[in-house]
Amino acid sequence: MLDQANYTPRLKTVYADQIRAAMKEEFAYKNDMMIPKLDKIVLNMGIGEAVKDTKKIKSAQADLTAIAGQKAVITKARTSIAGFRVREEMPLGVKVTLRGARMYEFLDRLINIALPRVRDFRGVKGTSFDGNGNYAMGIKEHIVFPEINFDQIDEMWGMDIIICTTAKTDAEAKALLKLFNMPFNS
């Protein structure tokens, strides 16, 4: 385990040294506090098969915990849906919210290691912003992360990755992520 007190992630240093200056120059911010920054990264796995087999939730939780480096939380159904055989409080997925050093480390691994390992990768969509400066993307196979041992998994799951920024507009958020070397296809 890394000593968190004396350790600064590589992307956090790059942000402080280069990206802040580039963003201030590009958007002509009057105040340094107006410069957008990463707020948090949320990882989510929906495990629909957990309706039939609850052991799959524990497996997914272990995988997401390994990917994030932080314990994943099991999410439960709010209401019953008879058509899907879902009951209230039934476990249906796992999620984790990353902030601080773990957030920068995950983004570094996502951009430089995991995304290039995606089959037929041609970049991520440049239009998946929500209008408030947050970016959402999905990965079809969670095995692209090096923390997952391919021989020990029982099933492949997709995962949602939401990158929340303090940017006010999508253009600012896209410029920020481009400076972090996010491989947009448009």
Residue 75 in domain: yes
Mean pLDDT computed over every residue of the chain = 87
Residue 9 in domain: no
Residue 185 in domain: no
How many domains are contained in the chain? 1
Residue 186 in domain: no
pLDDT reading at 156 higher than 70 = yes
Residue 175 in domain: yes
Structural domain range at position 155: 37-179
pLDDT per position as a tens digit, 26-38: 999 999 999 999 9
Q: What is the pLDDT of residue 28?
A: 92
117: CATH: 3.30.1440.10
pLDDT band at 85 (very low <50, low <70, confident <90, very high): confident
Q: What is the pLDDT of residue 51?
A: 62
Residue bearing the bigger pLDDT, 81 or 70 = 70
Residue 110 in domain: yes
pLDDT per position as a tens digit, 42-73: 999 988 776 677 788 888 888 899 999 999 99
42 token code pair: 């949320």
Mean pLDDT value across residues 162-178: 93
Whole-model pTM: value is 0.87
Residue 14 in domain: no
104 token code pair: 């920068």
pLDDT band at 179 (very low <50, low <70, confident <90, very high): very high
Residue 119 in domain: yes
pLDDT reading at 3 higher than 60 = no
pLDDT band at 101 (very low <50, low <70, confident <90, very high): very high
